[in-house]
Amino acid sequence: MNSIQGPAIFLAQFVRNEPPFDTFDGICRWAAELGYRGVQVPAWESPRLIDLDEAAESAAYCDDWRAKLARHGLALTELNASLAGQVMAIHPAYEVAFQPFYPPGLDAAARVAWATAQLKKSVRAAAKLGTKCLPVLSGGLAWHLAYPWPQRPAGLIDEAFRELARRWCPILDLAGELGLRIAFELHPGSDLYDGHTFERFLAEVNHHPAVAINYDPSHFLLQQLDYLEFIRLYGARIAGFHVKDAEFRPDGRGGAYGGYQSWAGRPGRFRSPGDGQVDFKRVFTLLTEAGYRGWAVLEWECAIKSPAQGAREGAGFIQRHLIEATTTAFDDFAGGRADKVTNRRILGLE
């Protein structure tokens, strides 16, 4: 198919302890009824949505699991291992705040070992399930240093990225062996959050072919980064796509840093697709031109609209933006034969 695939939905924000969101079968039926054709599954919702241990080891389990999806007319777009990725690198200042992401009682070394094991299981499971990338967050050793005050000692950020690369290289190597790409979502709170940080990491891992990007324009709009030019720069590395909108409306009291306001009160906040400022017509056009043929996955995060309405509207929004890439030029009907002799005659070079 010469088109971005979709519509799909990331299930993480919809899992609840109430039907139909409390079981794999129920949430898949709900997604299919809304018009979605694919689901992105959070690897940390194990075993409620998927048994990660079984999926990492058993091809038969993966076949049966995909058959359950197929009965609802759905396909797996990707597993998502963002939480384990964040745990790969946690500065002590964030240890308590991120504790829900990892088992209690782990010290710094044990957290990295746990996250590494979880990511390797996710890579093996994703490969057995036939997906092409694993969306993750990078974790952050230096995020608290994003603003250059106090003054940063020379070499400090270099050291952080060397350590980050050291931790991720075994995951990248395993993914490369299994034909998978690790798609980093460039996300504030992680050390990989824009083009500069991505390039720095890429250099530290010697431009590892398994390194990719999970493109989410909402994070770029809130940084006031040119999210369209980003596609032109890094299109070949984009392996995943979250359809999420945002708006940035600074005023006399607040701007990019948000003044410690809640999401609803911040000048920059996430919105449901179509309700913010992201130009999705251009996003889909540029991704199509860049050769991206993966899935367009709704990630619902909105400070205003309910998840129920966001999910209902999301499938149609994505469907309206999908482009079937042309394989012919619109003016082919007017063309004549092409050969060297004819070309020279047109140029007056007989």
Tens of pLDDT, residue by residue over 37-63, are 999 999 999 999 999 999 999 999 999
The residues that bridge with 133 in the sheet, in sequence order, are 181
Measured N-to-C along each axis, helices 156-177 and 108-128 cross at an angle, to the nearest 10 degrees, of 30
Residue 330: pLDDT over 80: no
For the chain, percent of residues with pLDDT exceeding 70:
99
pLDDT band at 1 (very low <50, low <70, confident <90, very high): low
- The CATH architecture to which 5-346 belongs is Alpha-Beta Barrel (3.20)
Check if the beta carbon of residue 245 is closer than 8 Å to that of residue 270: yes
Instruction: Count CA atoms within 13 Å of residue 80 on its CB side.
Output: 23
Closest CA to 297 of 222, 232, 215, 213: 215
Beta bridge partners of 245: 271
Task: Spell out the domain ranges in the chain.
Answer: 5-346
Q: With cut-offs at 50, 70 and 90, classify the pLDDT of residue 280.
A: very high
The owner of tokens 């999926």 is 55
Q: What's the Rg (C-alpha) of the chain?
A: 22
Do the Cβ atoms of 270 and 301 come closer than 8 Å? yes
235 confidence band (pLDDT: 50, 70, 90):
very high
- Beta partners for 76? 39
- CA angle at residue 168 from 163 to 172, to 5 degrees? 145
> Using CA atoms in the order 29, 66, 213, 305, what is the torsion angle rounded to 10 degrees?
10
Contact 217, 270 (CB under 8 A): no
Task: Please give the backbone phi and psi of residue 186, each rounded to the nearest 5 degrees, phi first.
Answer: -80, 100
Indicate left, alpha or beta for 69 from its phi (over 0: left) and psi (-120 to 50: alpha).
Answer: alpha
pLDDT at 250 over 70: yes
Contact 270, 307 (CB under 8 A): no
What length is written for the chain?
A: 350
In this prediction, residue 33 has a pLDDT band, given cuts at 50, 70 and 90, of very high
Residue 100, pLDDT score: 95
As a whole number, mean pLDDT of residues 118-130 equals 98
Question: Global pTM?
Answer: 0.95
Cα 310 to Cα 9, 245, 295: the distances in Å are: 11, 11, 18
Q: Model confidence at 326, in pLDDT bands (50, 70, 90)? A: confident
Q: How confident is the model at residue 31, as a pLDDT?
A: 98
CA dist 269 and 277 (Å) reads 11
Residues 6+ apart with CB under 8 A from 53: 46, 121
Q: Where are the beta strands (DSSP E) in 144-293?
A: 181-185, 211-215, 238-243, 245-248, 268-271
